[in-house]
Structure 1
């Protein structure tokens, strides 16, 4: 087969040197291809595989080297180390906006980008191609005899009512390490003061902290957790075993993250990068496009409570170093009580 993909450990990649921490690497397409696209992304390989496969079906002489890193490590790779990538894809919209705002991105204009709704792009540099809700996820097995919360107020009451059951079995992001976790937390803060009360309740129950949605989901599956807060719903519904979980779109407000793509300033193959972006946008917005939200995530019940994060300089507020230090200090006081 000319088109194939396989995961590689870092030691198997001769000549590849990187100080930033890599979570996974995969190579797609013919190894002898003259057209190579170097992608760095926060999205797991399995999540992104269908988008790469469909692109290579239309461009069979292209290969894609796909590197997975956390949003903070992605920033380090681009800004501190000057690593050479052709495309940067991230769920941390604030960090993506900072990269573009600080001159680390180049513009891309095409028929596909011109036809985007205003909320889906910024300054011809950032382009949204998914909408992914932050959800509350519970283990069906673990919740067999417990009421399932509808919103954050229900969750607070549930945790207070059954502290012995939930102690050490509630999970959420470690916002000191996770760019997406920090984004969700600051957006929660903007939307409602309920977030701080919830964080204090989770902290009193020795909440477990995670880097990413996939780790929280695995902890739910193993029984380590009973409930996880602010998990990306898209990561659940893309699993074969997702019927083992109950996905809750909070009725008070459901935050929608936009996963964005950009072409870094030092891209070696900017035209190929633009072609890939147009492919993503065509799948999301073009004729016969699929919904930006996975079909198994029905947002209609919370339509009036949707809180779509908007791309743009407004996201930079909580990246101010003084404000961020103050926020993290308050968050640590709430979540780390022991």
Structure 2
């Protein structure tokens, strides 16, 4: 019995470690001798074609691909920066701070706009909008909202339809959700009015876009606010009850970014991976993730800018004040 207890106790760290990841998969090259470790907030299904194309061109490499939330990813990299070679996240602000704090390796990359990189250490490779996604069945007799103000009116006019059936990010837990929320708040006071209305309807709070879309499809919720457009489009192909709305009042568009860890154990291979990732933008290959919209420039573009101002709301005091105001608006129950 004592040996059994010892065995169980010895397994606890292994089980705990295994439960940290939303997904973990290994993509093996045909003659692999080196394993590149990539930590990412992007679901494996979206990244698998990119990983397969990389190891096809680099058969001596394998890729171990870890998926976790944007906030957990940031904590993992800061705690153990030598465990991962490449870091990929949709939370631009957290990525920029990682690079600013010395966690990114400077590399030489060509053919990428200046606005899509920062100090040759952080690189954007997709352009993806935040979308309002609705279950069309709940809007059969309601005009499809085209702006946030339209959505406010629809929710206010029919509380019996939308009570406990609106979803959005829990920005206390989601790095991407926090980024979208702070950018929306900077753009317009409409964000706070919408948040208060969602709160009055007992909005459901989510970790991620995938979970919101699952509940939209099942009918558990009727509206999801600030869902990743690429994730919604991927599910819309198979689900006829999803309608994706890119609000016309002000767009919120993020760029997914990648960096090479400053303490990468396979820096050369990691650098090649980044270059491969960026090179795919110029090929005709069909990819699950949208490409970087290189037609955008720094004048009047809608992308969240990759610049130091992005880190403003990561300041501890500003973050605490923002979350206090957000909680007051979204959590209105007893």
Fold agreement, TM-score > 0.5: yes
Equivalent position of 2:144 in the other structure:
148
Instruction: Work out whether residues 251 and 305 of structure 1, in 8 Å CA contact, stay in contact via their aligned partners in 2.
Output: no
Verify: 1:188 aligned to 2:189, yes or no.
no
Structure 1 residue 21: Cα displacement: 2.7
Structure 1 residue 83: Cα displacement: 5.2
Larger C-alpha radius of gyration, 1 or 2?
2
SS at match of 1:148: coil
Deviations 1:252-273 (A, max 9, x none): 0111110000001111111111
What TM-score do you get using the length of structure 2 for normalisation?
Answer: 0.88
Distance 2:219 2:26 in 1: 33
SS at match of 1:307: coil
CA gap 1:231/1:27 in 2 versus in 1, 3 angstroms: same
SS at match of 2:128: strand
Distance 1:268 1:15 in 2: 23
SS at match of 2:138: coil
Give the counterpart of 2:247 among 240, 245, 250.
Answer: 250
SS at match of 1:318: helix
Give the counterpart of 1:275 among 260, 272, 275.
Answer: 272
Verify: 1:66 aligned to 2:65, yes or no.
yes
Distance 1:73 1:254 in 2: 27
Instruction: Work out whether residues 86 and 266 of structure 1, in 8 Å CA contact, stay in contact via their aligned partners in 2.
Output: yes
Equivalent position of 1:129 in the other structure:
125
Instruction: Work out whether residues 81 and 264 of structure 2, in 8 Å CA contact, stay in contact via their aligned partners in 1.
Output: no
Aligned residues between the structures: 317
Give the unaligned 5+ runs of structure 1. 1-11
Equivalent position of 1:37 in the other structure:
36
What TM-score do you get using the length of structure 1 for normalisation?
Answer: 0.87
Equivalent position of 1:5 in the other structure:
none
Distance 1:146 1:50 in 2: 39
CA gap 1:37/1:16 in 2 versus in 1, 3 angstroms: farther
Instruction: Work out whether residues 188 and 195 of structure 1, in 8 Å CA contact, stay in contact via their aligned partners in 2.
Output: yes
SS at match of 2:310: helix
Verify: 1:78 aligned to 2:77, yes or no.
yes
Instruction: Work out whether residues 45 and 68 of structure 1, in 8 Å CA contact, stay in contact via their aligned partners in 2.
Output: yes
Give the unaligned 5+ runs of structure 2. 1-10
Instruction: Work out whether residues 24 and 66 of structure 2, in 8 Å CA contact, stay in contact via their aligned partners in 1.
Output: yes
